[in-house]
């Protein structure tokens, strides 16, 4: 199928078809619709690579995230999609699996197609990846985190500040024997920053973290249940459990309810991220809204603006007390 076929079907010139499909030039609405209808009927797909040879750019925005299975990132992608809707830009997603070497390869492949922009989760990258992003000559935005040294623009929250804020909320509600349940993976840099901020926030209030436990692998209800059981059997005097994610907190909540614990008086719980999918649990888990969708939307808006910038846009997470913490 060629441009000539579409032109013949629409009874216009090849130049007119080209203008319509590239949204260039002055073409009447009637002619434009006739060309689109001919292209749809024939199943014509333009060769964007050929067009990119002239412009040295394709209308794609590379998006590099750690995982598609982690519930954090669909909301980010939704925000990106919302901002790009109605524009010529289309997101293309690659995953790093929390591996910086894999991330470097994905960034290399993305940039080799000369996209119109690049959105990358996190601030931790290999030196080669940072160099590629710095020299890309297109808008580059790192998302989710502002605790570090961005290559160019960044949109996210301070995870260290989020950890401190959670510590302050817990202490203000009278909890003193506090445990932390999180991932052992240093590759999850944002969770590690929240953990450090949480410990620092407790220390500022004169409280030492009573106990902690870490898991390998993926988060989830089962992981949360196992960690909660192990931690409470080891340190039964704990009166609060802070989880690195709501998914683990949900498993912990179900375990504590099964054991007949008085929540939130005998023991309180909190997670992080504010996942809507957990709204159907018997109790709403205290958490923090990490502004994921807004982060994605703001990052994509920088792609649409098509400006090289080093702006750092810090958003503030919102504490949501739910039903699993005492009233202040």
58 pLDDT band (50/70/90 cuts)?
A: confident
45 has a pLDDT exceeding 80:
no
Q: Is the pLDDT of residue 94 over 80?
A: yes
pLDDT at 155: 98
Query: pLDDT by residue (tens digit) across 207-244?
Result: 999 999 999 888 899 999 999 999 999 999 999 999 99
* 131 part of a folded domain: yes
Give domain status of residue 321, yes or no: no
* Residue 326 in domain: no
Provide the domain count of the chain: 3
Assess whether 279 and 216 both reside in one domain: yes
Domain residue limits at 27: 3-46
pLDDT at position 54 is 54
Whether 119 and 95 share a structural domain? yes
pLDDT by residue (tens digit) across 136-161? 889 999 999 999 999 999 999 999 99
The CATH number covering residue 148 comes to 3.40.50.2300
Are 228 and 123 within one domain? no
Domain membership of residue 243 (yes or no) is yes
Does residue 267 sit in the same domain as residue 282? yes
- Does residue 83 form part of some domain? yes
- The whole-chain average pLDDT of the chain stands at 92
For residue 241, being part of any structural domain is answered with yes
CATH number at residue 22: 1.10.260.40
Task: Say yes or no: 296 and 283 in one domain.
Answer: no
Using a 10 angstrom Cβ sphere, with 0-12 exposed, 13-18 middle and 19 or more buried, the burial of residue 237 is exposed
Residue 13 belongs to a domain: yes
Same domain for 130 and 274, yes or no, is no
- Residues 13-42 pLDDT 10s: 999 998 888 777 788 999 999 998 998 888
Tell me the average pLDDT across 286-301. Answer: 96
């Amino acid at each position: 199928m060629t441009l000539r076929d579409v032109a013949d079907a629409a009874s216009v010139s090849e130049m007119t078809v080209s203008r319509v499909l590239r949204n260039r030039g002055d073409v009447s609405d009637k002619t434009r619709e006739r060309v689109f209808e001919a292209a749809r009927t024939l199943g014509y797909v333009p060769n964007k690579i050929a067009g990119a040879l002239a412009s040295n750019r394709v209308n794609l925005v590379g998006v590099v995230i750690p995982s598609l299975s982690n519930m954090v990132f669909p909301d980010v992608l939704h925000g990106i999609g919302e901002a790009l809707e109605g524009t010529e830009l289309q997101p293309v997603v690659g995953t790093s699996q929390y591996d910086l070497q894999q991330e470097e390869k994905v960034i290399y492949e993305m940039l080799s197609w000369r996209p119109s922009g690049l959105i990358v989760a996190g601030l931790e990258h290999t030196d080669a990846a940072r160099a590629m992003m710095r020299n890309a000559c297109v808008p580059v935005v790192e998302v989710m985190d502002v605790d570090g040294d961005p290559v160019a623009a960044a949109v996210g929250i301070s995870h260290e500040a989020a950890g401190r804020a959670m510590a302050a909320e817990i202490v203000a509600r009278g909890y003193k024997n506090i445990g932390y349940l999180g991932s052992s993976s240093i590759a999850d840099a944002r969770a590690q920053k929240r953990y450090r901020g949480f410990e620092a926030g407790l220390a500022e209030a004169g409280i030492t973290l009573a106990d902690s436990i870490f898991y390998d692998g993926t988060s989830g209800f089962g992981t949360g249940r196992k960690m909660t059981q192990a931690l409470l059997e080891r340190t039964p005097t704990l009166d609060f459990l802070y989880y690195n994610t709501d998914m683990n907190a949900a498993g912990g909540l179900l375990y504590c309810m099964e054991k007949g614990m008085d929540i939130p008086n005998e023991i309180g719980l909190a997670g992080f991220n504010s996942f809507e999918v957990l709204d159907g649990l018997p109790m709403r888990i205290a958490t923090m809204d990490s502004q994921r969708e807004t982060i994605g939307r703001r990052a994509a808006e920088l792609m649409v603006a098509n400006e090289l910038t080093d702006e750092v846009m810090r958003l503030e997470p919102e504490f949501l007390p739910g039903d699993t913490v005492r009233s202040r």
